[in-house]
């Protein structure tokens, strides 16, 4: 081997390579980036708390959690009132309606994709689910506002005194005799949230079902169970925790959803009395009002406190579902 020039060799006579010299710094850079998600999470909490902190001791917490009076900009001379109860109720009712629709549909579709569908049908369904997940939340809000909203207000409208009007009143489908006051309401928001969380529930449940060993299925079939009995008696119990975690992540996503519910729920600060009453959620309140606040005033800081509440709720849901999945792994190893 002909000796190379000194400038091109390093110790040991190997060819000089910038990457080799920088190996140690690179490893430290990689390590730092590895911690980036922890840093990011801590920074999120830190900065939101920093903006909210001056208001934390001053806020009337009892009013905040129990009063539905959210009046951040009162008429001159009156005290502002920060009662977020109606917003919290709005968030949870919309989420509840969304999940009532999304969980059965999502689990059904996941079972269908992982156990019943084959070949081309399966591939097509998976791609459709993926595209469903890709549609941005603002587009879902638009769909709620312009496509589903008009349908809902058409279906839930009636002549006062007619049979459908009485049915709606007795079943709490609408709170007035003439039906839903507007197309964007609790039900529309729930449907939109369902459509948004279904893809997540489907893909995670499908993973959970696929993780069940094939020997379970073979044993069930050998005992004479048909596919449906296999799903119900063997796969559901075996994948129980994974399915639960999928539904919880769907819940977390639905609670944190912003733009879709801003456009599709009607944005009315009231505790809903019927299925088609307009409501307002915590996320939509932050999105709609932050632009109007003055930096540093009470309203601004209370919106950050709402953000902390949301952050706490979604983080606990995520941690809980993570623990559930971890429990599965331990059980499988044992």
Partner 1 sequence: MNSAPALNPFAATELESQKGRRLVLTKWVMFGFCALLVVPLVLILVDIFVKASPLFSWDYIWQNPVNKGKAGGLWAPLVGTFYLVIGSLLFVAPVGILAAIYLNEYAKEGWLNRTISVAVTSLAGVPSIVHALFGLGAFVLGMLPAINRLIVDPNHPEKKWEAGLLTASLTIAVMNLPVIITSAREALGAVPLAFREACWNLGATRWQTIRTIVLPNSLSGILTGIILVVSRAAGETAPILFTGATYFKFIADSGWQKLFPYSIGEPFVAMSMHLHVICTQISKMPDVMKFGSAAALIVLILLINSFAIALRVWLRGRKRW
Q: Which of residues 165-204 bind partner 1 (CB under 8 A)?
A: 195, 198
Of the candidate spans 31-39, 81-89, 170-178, 269-277, the one that interacts with partner 1 by CB under 8 A turns out to be: 31-39
Give me the residues paired with residue 9 across strands.
Answer: 15
Choice from 4, 16, 33, 240 touching partner 1 (CB under 8 A): 33
The answer to whether residue 60 forms part of the interface with partner 1 (CB under 8 A) is no
Closest CA to 117 of 24, 266, 11, 227: 227
- Which parts of 45-104 are beta strand (E)? 70-71, 81-82
Choice from 286, 301, 302, 328 touching partner 1 (CB under 8 A): 286
CB 262 within 8 A of CB 290: no
- Find the shortest distance in angstroms from Cβ 192 to partner 1: 11
Helix, coil or strand: residue 261: helix
- Find the shortest distance in angstroms from Cβ 159 to partner 1: 27
The answer to whether residue 139 forms part of the interface with partner 1 (CB under 8 A) is yes
Closest CA to 197 of 128, 101, 273, 276: 101
Closest CA to 249 of 194, 314, 195: 314
Angstrom distance (rounded) from CA 102 to CA 109: 10
Choice from 89, 105, 169, 324 touching partner 1 (CB under 8 A): 105
Choice from 60, 130, 159, 297 touching partner 1 (CB under 8 A): 130
The answer to whether residue 297 forms part of the interface with partner 1 (CB under 8 A) is no
Locate tokens 């084959």: which residue?
A: 118
Find the binding residues for partner 1 in span 261-280 (CB under 8 A): 262-263
CB 295 within 8 A of CB 111: no
Nearer to partner 1, 69 or 126 (CB): 126
Locate tokens 């990689």: which residue?
A: 30
Nearer to partner 1, 42 or 167 (CB): 42
- Find the shortest distance in angstroms from Cβ 307 to partner 1: 4
Nearer to partner 1, 206 or 277 (CB): 206
Give me the residues paired with residue 82 across strands.
Answer: 70
Backbone φ, ψ for residue 295 (5° rounding): -60, 120
For 102, residues 6+ apart whose C-beta sits below 8 A from its C-beta are 193, 194, 195, 197, 198, 201, 250, 254
The answer to whether residue 44 forms part of the interface with partner 1 (CB under 8 A) is yes
Nearer to partner 1, 158 or 256 (CB): 256
Site string for partner 1, 235-264 (x = CB under 8 A): --------------x--xx-xxxxx--xx-
The answer to whether residue 112 forms part of the interface with partner 1 (CB under 8 A) is yes
Angstrom distance (rounded) from CA 116 to CA 208: 16
Locate tokens 């009532």: which residue?
A: 100
Nearer to partner 1, 86 or 111 (CB): 111
For 57, residues 6+ apart whose C-beta sits below 8 A from its C-beta are none
- Find the shortest distance in angstroms from Cβ 111 to partner 1: 6
């Amino acid at each position: 081997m002909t000796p190379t020039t000194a400038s091109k060799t390093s110790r040991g006579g190997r060819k000089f390579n910038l990457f080799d010299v920088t190996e140690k710094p690179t490893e430290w850079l990689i390590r730092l980036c590895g911690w980036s998600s922890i840093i990011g999470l801590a920074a999120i909490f830190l900065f939101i708390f920093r903006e909210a902190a001056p208001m934390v001791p001053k806020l009337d917490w009892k009013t905040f959690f129990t009063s539905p009076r959210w009046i951040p900009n009162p008429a001159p001379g009156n005290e502002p009132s920060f009662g977020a109860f109606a917003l919290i109720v709005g968030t949870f009712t919309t989420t509840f309606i969304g999940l009532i629709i999304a969980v059965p549909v999502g689990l059904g579709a996941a079972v269908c994709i992982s156990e019943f569908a084959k070949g081309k049908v399966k591939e097509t369904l998976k791609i459709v689910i993926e595209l469903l997940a890709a549609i941005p939340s603002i587009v879902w809000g638009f769909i709620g506002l312009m496509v589903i909203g008009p349908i809902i207000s058409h279906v839930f409208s009636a002549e006062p005194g007619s049979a459908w009007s009485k049915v709606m009143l007795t079943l709490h489908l609408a709170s007035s005799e003439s039906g839903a006051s507007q197309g964007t309401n609790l039900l529309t928001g729930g449907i939109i949230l369902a459509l948004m969380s279904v893809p997540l529930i489907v893909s995670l449940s499908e993973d959970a079902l696929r993780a069940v060993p094939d020997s379970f299925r073979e044993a069930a079939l050998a005992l004479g169970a048909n596919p449906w009995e296999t799903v119900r008696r063997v796969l559901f119990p075996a994948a129980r925790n994974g399915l639960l975690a999928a539904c919880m992540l769907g819940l977390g996503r639905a609670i944190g959803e912003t733009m879709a519910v801003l456009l599709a729920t009607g944005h009315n600060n009231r505790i809903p009395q019927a299925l088609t009453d307009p409501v307002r959620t915590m996320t939509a309140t932050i999105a709609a009002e932050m632009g109007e606040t003055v930096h540093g005033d009470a309203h601004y800081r209370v919106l950050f406190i709402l953000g902390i509440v949301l952050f706490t709720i979604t983080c606990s849901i995520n941690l809980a579902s993570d623990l559930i999945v971890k429990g599965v792994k331990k059980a499988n190893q044992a």
